[in-house]
Structure 1
């Protein structure tokens, strides 16, 4: 599928292991940076030398799901080496080279723009997010079971946000026998929740309603689980925040109130890295081939 394509994989976690394996299986020439602790586990791949002509052959660069930090640094659990993505390095790649990341911050957008390279945040795509909602839901169930002393069946669960993950969570907990309510912001989302047989809750009025739920799950990446909401929760309640760091919960206030609150972003990479890596590999493979086809037709 990818014979003749040159792809660099830079840093990351266990998801990248399956990604690299699939790229090798599909015949791509794979270059690795940030995997020196794997002890030559990928003999088909070669080490990426940022100062060599390898860079001039790259069709794609795949970054970890978290992307880079605010200085362009790329983290990886398989190396102590600090890798920094730099504008001058990106400019050495061919003009058609694309950069794939899970999440993009302002610094990464700026780097790509200055280098005139296309940046593709995979987690913004519906297909990736929907596929990822499956291991996210399984990981959420695991955490709920580990950190509660009551059954999901018969419990009161509130899910904040009816996005791609929120919808899967609400549906799954409902099927397991929980009494599920969903925090929404629009009338169309409220209608969807009602159609699903669940209880819609207006996010604008959360602090003024009964919050006697057993499990509160947040999927919204902004401060929505405020002290005004936390103080209404029963002492046995569990808060699970699945939003990207720093989450949408006032964790300091939750701790002060004695409410257990867990920040759990990136669950697919923790509970099912093989599946999560395969999802990324499948989507990236399709996008690379689509881009190449369009380049040839132009």
Structure 2
């Protein structure tokens, strides 16, 4: 139970609704910031504007998967107003407050560090990231099916990166009968890809592997599909970039070449928000409860 704990939410998408419901169910005091356009308000939750006064007694602050942009702006599909976290907002948070988000950009990291506020990035946790890879992979397969006129079975498909999403994606594509090649950097990853019965290659050799690619899935959050690489692709190649914004693709050059390239971050929130939200809700409720118990033991 989260009785006596004040949890505030700032912005987000449909995934946050599952987290909100879970916190209310566990008897937390819930404040919603940036939910002005939410059609129905949950019993047990209060809508408030973003202000220092609202934040001064918050025990837990929950931000969207991508906490904020490089200027502190927080996305919210439920609010038409700009939500921007400033230095004044961070200064108003109690020192015991814990801020949870999926991933944090340098702006948010520096802002909270300056005021000694604990930040937890959920997607840095293996459990959350692995669970989250399930709806991500399903969404990626959906995008490939919708945007090609061939079957996945028998298609020449490249997966770039062998993290949690890359591994799950490569396994699923292989099971569907695709001719899968996976680009990775580390020897242990190359070995694991080989052990799975999939063809590995080093990403430094990427340019040599794209000449017959039907679909390229990128999970690497840095520019890897450069103009030089894209120039070697057939015009019919489909690029699906799953990395966080701005992705790892030279989208300008892809468009110039007539190659369809899609940036699709936050796929879980688009294709399976209820499942993705429950993954976050279950982990968050456990972490909040554990932190609250530790705090009680030390006071």
Question: What TM-score range do you get, normalising by the shorter chain?
Answer: over 0.9
- 2:96 is matched with 96
Q: Which runs of 5+ in 2 are unaligned?
A: none
Shift of 1:83: 2.0
- 1:279 is matched with 279
Give the 5 Å matches for 1:136-151: 136-151=136-151
Distance change in 2, residues 1:55/1:197 (3 Å): same
Give the 5 Å matches for 1:58-97: 58-97=58-97
- The number of residues matched between the two structures is 298
- C-alpha contact (below 8 Å) 1:8/1:48 kept by paired residues: no
Distance change in 2, residues 1:213/1:53 (3 Å): closer
72-81 or 206-215: which moved more? Answer: 206-215
- 2:132 is matched with 132
The alignment partner of 2:200 has SS state of: strand
Shift of 1:49: 5.2
88-97 or 48-57: which moved more? Answer: 48-57
Structure 1, residues 207-242: CA drift from partner, whole Å, max 9, x if none?
234631211100001110112221222222111000
Structure 1, residues 121-156: CA drift from partner, whole Å, max 9, x if none?
112221111111000001011101100101001111
Query: How far apart in 1 are the matches of 2:68 and 2:44?
Result: 26
Structure 1, residues 196-216: CA drift from partner, whole Å, max 9, x if none?
000001111112346312111
Query: How far apart in 2 are the matches of 1:282 and 1:84?
Result: 27
- 1:227 is matched with 227
The alignment partner of 1:91 has SS state of: helix
Question: Does residue 120 in structure 1 map to residue 157 in structure 2?
Answer: no
Shift of 1:296: 2.5
The alignment partner of 1:57 has SS state of: coil
- 1:295 is matched with 295
> TM-score, structure 1 length as denominator?
0.95
- 1:179 is matched with 179
The alignment partner of 2:228 has SS state of: helix
Question: Does residue 33 in structure 1 map to residue 30 in structure 2?
Answer: no
Query: How far apart in 2 are the matches of 1:130 and 1:2?
Result: 26
Query: How far apart in 2 are the matches of 1:49 and 1:79?
Result: 11
Query: How far apart in 2 are the matches of 1:15 and 1:230?
Result: 34
- C-alpha contact (below 8 Å) 1:91/1:116 kept by paired residues: no
The alignment partner of 1:81 has SS state of: coil
Query: How far apart in 1 are the matches of 2:54 and 2:33?
Result: 12
Structure 1, residues 252-297: CA drift from partner, whole Å, max 9, x if none?
1111221111111110010011111111111111111111222223
Q: Which runs of 5+ in 1 are unaligned?
A: none
- C-alpha contact (below 8 Å) 1:88/1:115 kept by paired residues: no
284-293 or 188-197: which moved more? Answer: 284-293
Query: How far apart in 2 are the matches of 1:115 and 1:80?
Result: 29
- What RMSD in Å do the two structures reach over aligned CA positions? 1.6
The alignment partner of 2:92 has SS state of: coil
- 2:255 is matched with 255
- C-alpha contact (below 8 Å) 1:59/1:94 kept by paired residues: yes
